[in-house]
């Protein structure tokens, strides 16, 4: 079974040039057979209209909520949301119920995710039950398929335990993805201090994040572990990571679209749609995150896709859970606000959303080339559409970007040769028309 995609333009990730090209895919083996013009006949042809062909995006930080919180999201709905956002691979965080802290639970997610709309890589817990007291069995979790370790949603509070975790992770060859939050400093507060004062709720101080990042960078140096810093949000954190990289510490870092594009100044009402952890910080922090992203201090875009039910988010700023959905809007947001505004080049953004996550986490994909995996995303750079949460495939509608006019919407996603998302395309044997 062969699939041919005609009418697209191929982005060269080294120089940013766009070349009209077709792509021939072996849908059974899930590989790209050829890229070029005058390709052979295929069983199915999809005709694009000048959309840009990219390697499928990879998000190393999503919450699929399954098992245990299926009212928020399931493996099926979360991977459909991923595909709609142009993603072909996602790493799911282990703060499920039960948490992913045993090899059996890691394998269960992998098995149930097979054949869904994106490849799912489980991240396993650092500590049993994410309780911060006893380490999990890293070797066994790795053998079961975990690609990283994290207690995401909580930081590991005990420094001695964290040092032991990093030493063992280095031996097991697994990155440790940290949710940096010293709870003695954050106090579980809802918003960054200025916004918290304005809206009369408890504050989460930025030093709660930066102090733990500083600690863990020092511990990564002492142990040789690969430290991955999740959702960086402060200017000080960016400086610390820049310092650590210059020193040769093995650290990678991610930034979310919301921390790049929003700051606490947007919070003009007591609406929990703005409540996320770490919080939206100051304009100066946002600019520093952007500068860090542009100069490569922050390596990757990750969404921290965190779906919650409407009822949960209606509980008000103090009581509602932290989190925003992100999978279905990440690329259009960053394309429109960073590439179209001239702050970053398209190929640079695509590398940060595809090639680099694949490389840093040892995943396949991340490049579009003959012989490579058929993980492909076609994006429409011409048409503007507003973010409409009612159309999301995710169960979560909790986005602060509703109504934003954006370009760069994914129109076609192919994961290992399977069509996982089409927007307004009608496919027929041998032909497809919009």
- Give catalytic residues, as residue numbers: 304
Of the candidate residues 323, 365, 366, 389, the single one contacting ligand DOR (CB under 6 A): 323
Q: Taking the complex as a whole, how short is the minimal distance between the CB of residue 33 and ligand DOR, in angstroms?
A: 40
**Of 8 and 323, CB closest to ligand DOR:** 323
Pull the structure tokens for residue 323: 């989190």
Chain centroid to Cα 406, Å, comes to 19
Q: In whole angstroms, what is the distance from residue 261 CA to residue 70 CA? A: 29
Of the candidate residues 63, 242, 281, 286, the single one contacting ligand DOR (CB under 6 A): 63
**Of 51 and 152, CB closest to ligand DOR:** 152
* β-pair type (52-55, 376-380): antiparallel
Pull the structure tokens for residue 248: 């040769």
Q: Which stretch binds ligand DOR (CB under 6 A): 130-138, 318-326, 359-367, 384-392?
A: 318-326
Q: Taking the complex as a whole, how short is the minimal distance between the CB of residue 228 and ligand DOR, in angstroms?
A: 14
Please answer whether residues 232 and 238 qualify as being in contact, where contact means their C-beta atoms are separated by less than 8 angstroms: yes
Of the candidate residues 9, 110, 270, 322, the single one contacting ligand DOR (CB under 6 A): 322
Please answer whether residues 44 and 24 qualify as being in contact, where contact means their C-beta atoms are separated by less than 8 angstroms: no
Q: In whole angstroms, what is the distance from residue 92 CA to residue 124 CA? A: 9
Helices 235-247 and 283-295 pack at an angle, to 10 degrees, of 30
Q: Is 277 in the site for ligand DOR (CB under 6 A)?
A: yes
Q: Is 153 in the site for ligand DOR (CB under 6 A)?
A: yes
Q: Taking the complex as a whole, how short is the minimal distance between the CB of residue 152 and ligand DOR, in angstroms?
A: 5
**Of 152 and 416, CB closest to ligand DOR:** 152
* Coarse DSSP helix, strand, coil percentages of the chain, rounded to the nearest 5 percent: 35, 25, 45
Pull the structure tokens for residue 302: 């990750």
Q: Which stretch binds ligand DOR (CB under 6 A): 244-252, 321-329, 364-372, 409-417?
A: 321-329
Q: Is 152 in the site for ligand DOR (CB under 6 A)?
A: yes
**Of 45 and 253, CB closest to ligand DOR:** 253
Please answer whether residues 21 and 9 qualify as being in contact, where contact means their C-beta atoms are separated by less than 8 angstroms: yes
Q: In whole angstroms, what is the distance from residue 138 CA to residue 152 CA? A: 16
**Of 66 and 304, CB closest to ligand DOR:** 304
Q: Taking the complex as a whole, how short is the minimal distance between the CB of residue 81 and ligand DOR, in angstroms?
A: 15
* β-pair type (251-255, 300-301): parallel
Of the candidate residues 163, 179, 215, 373, the single one contacting ligand DOR (CB under 6 A): 179
Helices 103-113 and 75-84 pack at an angle, to 10 degrees, of 60
Pull the structure tokens for residue 352: 């940060």
Q: Which stretch binds ligand DOR (CB under 6 A): 112-120, 220-228, 320-328, 421-429?
A: 320-328
**Of 21 and 324, CB closest to ligand DOR:** 324
Q: Is 95 in the site for ligand DOR (CB under 6 A)?
A: yes
**Of 323 and 408, CB closest to ligand DOR:** 323
Q: Taking the complex as a whole, how short is the minimal distance between the CB of residue 64 and ligand DOR, in angstroms?
A: 10
| Backbone Cα Rg of the chain | 21
90 φ/ψ angles, rounded to the nearest 5 degrees: -135, 150
Q: How many of the other CB atoms lie within 10 Å of CB of 348?
A: 17
Q: Is 276 in the site for ligand DOR (CB under 6 A)?
A: yes
Q: In whole angstroms, what is the distance from residue 413 CA to residue 391 CA? A: 17
Q: Taking the complex as a whole, how short is the minimal distance between the CB of residue 177 and ligand DOR, in angstroms?
A: 11
Size of residue set near ligand DOR by CB under 6 A: 12
Residues that bind ligand DOR (CB under 6 A): 63, 95, 152-153, 179, 276-277, 304, 306, 321-323
């Amino acid at each position: 079974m062969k699939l041919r995609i005609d009418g697209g333009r191929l982005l060269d990730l080294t120089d940013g040039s766009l070349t009209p090209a077709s792509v021939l895919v072996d849908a059974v083996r899930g590989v790209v057979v050829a890229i070029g013009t005058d390709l052979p006949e295929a069983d199915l042809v999809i005709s694009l209209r000048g959309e840009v062909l990219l390697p499928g995006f990879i998000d190393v930080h999503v919450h699929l909520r399954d098992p245990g919180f299926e009212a928020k999201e399931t493996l099926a709905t979360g991977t459909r949301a991923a595909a709609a956002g142009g993603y072909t691979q996602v790493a799911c965080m282990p703060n499920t119920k039960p948490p992913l802290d045993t090899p059996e639970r890691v394998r269960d997610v992998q098995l149930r995710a097979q054949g869904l709309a994106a490849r799912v890589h489980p991240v396993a817990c650092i500590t049993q039950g994410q309780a911060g007291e006893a380490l999990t069995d890293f070797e066994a979790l790795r053998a079961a398929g975990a690609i990283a370790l994290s207690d995401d949603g909580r930081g590991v509070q005990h420094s001695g335990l964290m040092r032991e975790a990093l030493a063992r992770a280095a031996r097991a060859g697994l990155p440790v993805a940290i949710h940096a939050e010293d709870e003695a400093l954050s106090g579980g507060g809802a918003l960054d201090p200025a916004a918290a004062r304005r809206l009369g709720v408890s504050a989460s101080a930025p030093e709660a994040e930066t102090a733990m990042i500083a600690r863990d960078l020092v511990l990564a140096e002492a142990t040789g572990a690969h430290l991955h810093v999740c959702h960086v949000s402060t200017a000080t954190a960016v400086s610390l990571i820049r310092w650590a990289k210059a020193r040769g510490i093995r650290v990678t870092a991610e930034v979310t679209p919301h921390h790049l594009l929003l700051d606490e100044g947007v919070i003009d009402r007591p609406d929990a749609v703005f409540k996320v952890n770490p919080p939206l910080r100051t304009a100066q922090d946002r600019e520093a995150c952007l500068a860090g992203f542009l100069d490569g201090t922050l390596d990757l875009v990750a969404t921290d896709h965190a779906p919650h039910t409407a009822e949960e988010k209606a509980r008000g700023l103090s009581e509602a859970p932290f989190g925003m959905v992100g999978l279905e809007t990440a690329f259009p947001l960053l394309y429109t606000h960073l590439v179209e505004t001239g702050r970053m080049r398209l190929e640079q953004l695509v590398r940060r959303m595809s090639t680099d996550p694949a490389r840093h986490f040892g995943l396949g994909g991340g490049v579009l080339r003959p012989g490579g995996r058929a993980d492909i995303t076609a994006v429409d750079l011409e048409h503007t559409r507003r973010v409409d949460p009612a159309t999301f495939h995710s169960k979560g509608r909790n986005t602060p970007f509703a109504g934003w006019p954006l370009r760069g919407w994914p129109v076609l996603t192919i994961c290992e040769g399977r069509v996982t998302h089409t927007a307004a395309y009608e496919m027929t044997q041998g032909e497809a028309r919009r």
